[in-house]
Amino acid sequence: MSYQHARGQVYLINYHLMWCPKRRRPILVGRIKHRLEQVIHETAKEMGVEVHDLAVNPDHLHLFVSAYPQLPVHKIVKRFKGRSSHTLCKEFPELLKMPSLWTHSYFVSTAGHVSMKTIQEYIERQSKK
C-alpha cells in the first residue's frame, strides 16, 4: 500500500471498519457469507474504495479499506450496510424475519502506514476462527 495521488492531492487514508447483524445473530455463514463478500467488493469498486482485507465471521465482519479524502467514513459505512442489506434480504428471504439486517452502530479506526500491517494480521486471525 502506498500513497495515493489525485489532482493536487497526495493521501493515504485507511479505515478499519467493523459492524454486526442485529442482535449479533450468527447469520453470516455459508451462502450468505459468500454473497456478502461479493457485495462488499462490488460496492467498494463502485465507490472507488480499495478493500485490503475482509473477514466475515458469523456474528460480525471486519473490513480494512482505503478511501479518498472527499468520501466521509459515515458514507462509506452507510453504502456498504445499505447495499448489502438490500441485496441479501432480497436474495435470502429468511433474513426478512429480522427487524433489520444490521445494527445502527459500527466501529471505525483510522490506520496510518505504520499500523497497517498490525491491522491486516488481526483481520487475518479473525477469519481463521
Residues serving a catalytic function are: 122
Report how far residue 129's alpha carbon sits from residue 127's, in angstroms, rounded to the nearest whole number.
Answer: 6
Q: Between the CA of residue 72 and those of 3, 25, 41, 66, what are the distances in Å?
A: 18, 28, 18, 12
H or E stretch including 50?
Answer: strand 50-57
Q: Alpha helix (H) ranges present in 1-129? A: 30-47, 73-91, 116-127
Report how far residue 94's alpha carbon sits from residue 25's, in angstroms, rounded to the nearest whole number.
Answer: 13
